[in-house]
Amino acid sequence: MAKSMKLAGLKSVENAHDESVWTATWVPATGSRPPLLLTGSLDETVKVWRPDELDLVRTNTGHCLGVVSVAAHPSGVIAASAALDSFVRVFDVDTNATIATLESPPSEVWQMQFDPKGSTLAVAGGGSASIKLWDTATWRLVATLSIPRPEGSKPSDKSGSKKFVLSVAWSPDGRRLACGSMDGTISVFDVARAKFLHHLEGHYMPVRSLVFSPEHDSRKLYSASDDGHVHIHDVEGKAIIGAMSGHTGWVLSVDVSPDGEAIATGSSDKTVRLWDFKMRAAIQVMSNHTDQVWAVAFRPGGRGGRLASVSDDKSISLYHCS
Amino acid sequence: MDDLSKSDMKFFSDQQLCFADILLPHEVQARIQVAVLNFLKILSSPDPEISDLPLINRKLSNSRVSEGILTDVSWIFLSHSFCSRSLMKANATKAFIRVWKVMEMCFEILIQDKRVTQRELFYKLLCDSPHYFSSQLQVNRTIQDVVALLRCSRYSLGIMASSKGLVAGRILLQEPNQEAVDCSACGSSGYAISGDLNLLESLIMKTDARYIVVVEKHAIFQRLAEDNVFNQIPSILLTAKGYPDIATRFLLHRMSRAFPDLPILALVDWNPAGLAILSTYKFGSIGMGLEAYRYACNVKWLGLRGDDLQLIPQQSLAPLKPRDLQIARSLISSTILQDNYRQELAVMMQSGQRAEIEALYFNGYDYLVKYLAKKIVQANYI
C-alpha cells in the first residue's frame, strides 16, 4: 500500500503582513535562484519570501487597495499581482522592475493564472462574467471568454452578476480553461477556439478556487466552494467524480501536490486539511492558524515537498510534506 | 623577414577590418529580409539544404590590432574569419533557432518604430518562445550573434544600451529642446548617461575643464563628486560603475573628439581587472569587436600604479584570486598592450597581490583628492 503523504509544520511567520494575507503562490526556480514564495495582502503589499526560513526578500508596494491575487510565470522570471483597484502589475521577480500595468474596469480583476507555457495570462473577470486573456509577450488583451447569459434573460438583466467570476484554472496541456462563479457554477472553455463548452454544476455557493490535477492530459478538476465541500469533476464528461467533505466552514482554497497524490485545502474554519484522493477523506488537519485560511499552495518541484498557507491572522505557515 | 611583414601590416590593417554598420531601421529590416530570402532560396532549390548561419568569429584568433601610428589611439578590431551556427549540429540546434527568433523579434520592434533594452527583449522572448530562451545571458549572446550575422550595430537592431554610466563635474550637457544640465550641480549621484545612443549623439556639450577622469568604481566616483574635486582641479568625472558599457564609452569618445586637448586619465584598482577595464576604454573589446573599435580613446593610466603602493599600508594588500590571474594571462597575451603596462602587470603577478583605491583612505578621508591633484599636476600618468 502506498504511503500517505504527511504534513509537518516547518516555519511560521507571525505578522508577515500588517493586515490579512489573502493570496499566495510559488515562483519556480530559475537557473540562478531556488523557488520563492509570493504573498499578497489587504495591506496593499506583495512580499517575496525565501524558504525554508521564510526570510523576507522584498516588499513590493504600489497597489492602491488590497492585493487579491498573485501569479507566477512558469519561467520563474516574472510574476503578476492584482488588487481590488482592478490593476494588474507585472514585474520582474528579482529586481521588482515593472514590466507592464494592465488596466480593467472596476471589479473585473480577480484570480489570475499564467498558462503552463507562459504565453498567456488568464484573469478571472469578476463582474464582466468572463475570463480575460492577456498575451505575455505584448501585454495586449487578446481574448475575452464570456460566460453565456442564462436563457430567458434580457440583455439588460443584471442577473448576470450571479456569474461573477472569482477563480480560474488552466488544464496542464493548456487546452482548457475553467472558471468558478459566485452562484457555484463552473464554466469550461476550449482555449484554441475561444469557445464556451459547458457548465459544471454541483455547487450552489461561490467557487473561490479551482485546480486541475497535474498529469499532462488531465481532465480532472478540483473545486472548492463556500458550501464547505471539495468537488472532483471530469471536465469533458461534465460528471462529478467525487466529493470530499469535512470542513466546517467555507473552503477558500484548494491546491494539488505536484505528484497528484494529495490535495490541500484552506478554509474559513481556520484549518488546513490534507486529503487523500483515493480515500476521499481528510488524512490530516493542521490548526495552527487563528483565523480564516485564504490560500494554500504546494511548491512545484524542488527537493522535498513544501506547502504554504496564509491567513486572515496575518501569518504565513510553511509545512514539509513527505 | 617576419618582422618586416608585420610592420607593413601596420599600415594596411584597415583592409582587414570587419565592422558593424550603423543603419537606419528600414535598412536593418531589409538585411533581415535578405537573410530570410537567402535561406528560403537554398531550402527550395533543386538541391535543397538547410543553410548554416555565417557569423563573424568573435574570438581572439580573429582579433587584430590597429596601432595608432599617426594618431595616438590604437584599437582592437575583428577580421573576416567566420564561424557558423548550424541546425545540423546536435547540441547546437537551439542556438541556431535562437538567432532567427531574435531577428524576428527585432524586425517587429523596428516596424513599430520602438526601442527596447536587452532586459525587455528577454521578457518578450521568454514569453514568446519559452522553449528556447531561459536566461538573460542567452539573449545577450544571441544578440551578438545577430550583430555578427547581419553586420549591423546592436543599436540599429532597436536594442538600447543600458543606462549604467554617470557624469559629474565641469561640463554642461544639453538635450535638444531641453534645459542645459550643469553636471557640477548634480550632487554625488551625477548625471545618468542614457542608453539611447541617438540621444547621446545629439547632446550639446560645453566645458571649461582641463582633464577627464574616468573612475572604475561607483563609490569612488561618489566620494570625488561629493568632495567637489572638479572645482579644485577643473575636471569632468565619468564612471561606468565597473566594466564599461557601450553608452559610457560612446559619450567618452564624443568628449574626446569635442575636447581633444583634455587628457583622459583613468583611476582604477591595482589589479588585473582594473587594467582590463582601462584597456576596454582604451582599445575596445573582442566581444563587441564589430562595434567597440569605434569608441576607443587615448586613456592614460593615472592610478593605482606600482609606485603608489608605498602610499598604502601593507595590510590593505590582498592576494590575487585565480580569476585575477586568468585576466592577467589574457591581457599579457594581447599584443596591443604597451610595454610600460606590461611591466606594471608583471609586478602585479610577481607580487601576487592586489590593492583597492579605498586603501588610500588610510591616510585620511581627504587624501584621495590630494593624491589625485598631485598626480595630475605632476603629469604622473602613462
Would you state the cell numbers that stand for residue B276, as one nine-digit string?
A: 582590463
CB A127 within 8 A of CB A143: no
Mutate to test the interface with B, among A27, A32, A77 (most CBs of B within 10 A): A77
Per the domain annotation, does A8 fall within a domain? no
B141 neighbourhood in chain A, CB within 8 Å: none
- Please give the model's pTM, rounded to 2 decimal places: 0.79
Q: Which of residues 138-177 of A touch B (CB under 8 A)?
A: 138
CB B239 within 8 A of CB B214: yes
Q: Which of residues 57-76 of A touch B (CB under 8 A)?
A: 73-75
Per the domain annotation, does A1 fall within a domain? no
pLDDT of res. A122: 96
A118·B127 Cβ contact <8 A: yes
pLDDT of res. B274: 94
Residue-wise pLDDT for A199-255, tens only, equals 998 899 999 999 999 988 889 999 999 999 999 999 988 788 889 988 999 999 999
> What are the beta bridge partners of residue A91?
A79, A98
CB A297 within 8 A of CB A319: no
Task: Provide the pLDDT confidence category of residue A150 given band limits of 50, 70 and 90.
Answer: confident
A73·B126 Cβ contact <8 A: yes
Per the domain annotation, does A13 fall within a domain? no
Chain B: give the shortest CA distance to residue A196, in Å: 25
Alpha helices in chain B (DSSP H): 2-12, 25-43, 93-111, 118-128, 136-150, 197-202, 218-226, 229-232, 246-258, 272-283, 289-292, 322-332, 339-351, 367-377
| CA atoms of B159 and B156, how far apart (whole Å) | 7
Residue-wise pLDDT for A75-98, tens only, equals 999 999 999 999 999 999 999 999
Domain carrying residue A85? 20-148+161-321
Chain A: give the shortest CA distance to residue B122, in Å: 10
**Mean pLDDT (whole number) for A34-42:** 94
Any CB–CB contact under 8 A between A2 and chain B?
no
Residue-wise pLDDT for B42-87, tens only, equals 999 988 888 888 888 888 788 888 877 667 788 888 888 888 888 8
Per the domain annotation, does A156 fall within a domain? no
**Helices B118-128, B136-150: crossing angle, 10 deg rounding:** 100
pLDDT of res. A1: 40
Its ipTM equals 0.75
| 3-class DSSP assignment, residue B80 | coil
Q: What is the CATH number of the domain that holds A248?
A: 2.130.10.10
Query: Least CB-CB distance to A99: which of B123, B130, B134?
Result: B123
Please count the structural domains in chain A.
Answer: 1
Per the domain annotation, does A26 fall within a domain? yes
DSSP for A67-86, please give it.
EEEEEE-TTSSEEEEEETTS
Per the domain annotation, does A9 fall within a domain? no
Does the active-site annotation cover B341?
no
User: Position of cell 576607443?
Assistant: B296
pLDDT of res. B1: 46
Taking the alpha carbons at both ends of chain B, their separation in whole angstroms is 32
Any CB–CB contact under 8 A between B117 and chain A?
no
Q: Which of residues 109-128 of A touch B (CB under 8 A)?
A: 117-119
Chain B: give the shortest CA distance to residue A136, in Å: 6
Q: Which helix (H) or strand (E) holds B265?
A: strand B264-267
Would you state the cell numbers that stand for residue B107, as one nine-digit string?
A: 524586425
Closest CA to B299 of B328, B346, B336, B334: B336
The phi and psi torsions of B380 (rounded to 5 degrees) equal: -90, 70
Closest chain B residue to the Cα of A119, Cα to Cα: B127
pLDDT of res. B365: 84
Per the domain annotation, does A15 fall within a domain? no
Residue-wise pLDDT for B331-359, tens only, equals 888 888 888 899 999 999 998 999 999 99
Distance of alpha carbon A98 from its chain centroid, rounded? 22
Q: How many CB pairs under 8 A join A and B?
A: 37
Ramachandran category for residue B97: left, alpha or beta (phi over 0 → left; psi -120 to 50 → alpha): alpha
| 3-class DSSP assignment, residue B353 | strand
Helices (H) and strands (E) in chain A, counts: 0, 28
Average pLDDT, chain A: 90
Question: Which residue stretches of chain B have pLDDT < 70?
Answer: 1-13, 69-70
Per the domain annotation, does A275 fall within a domain? yes
Residue-wise pLDDT for B285-310, tens only, equals 888 888 888 888 999 999 899 889 88
Mutate to test the interface with B, among A75, A93, A134, A140 (most CBs of B within 10 A): A75
DSSP for A84-123, please give it.
TTSEEEEEETTT--EEEEEE-STT----EEE-TTSSEEEE
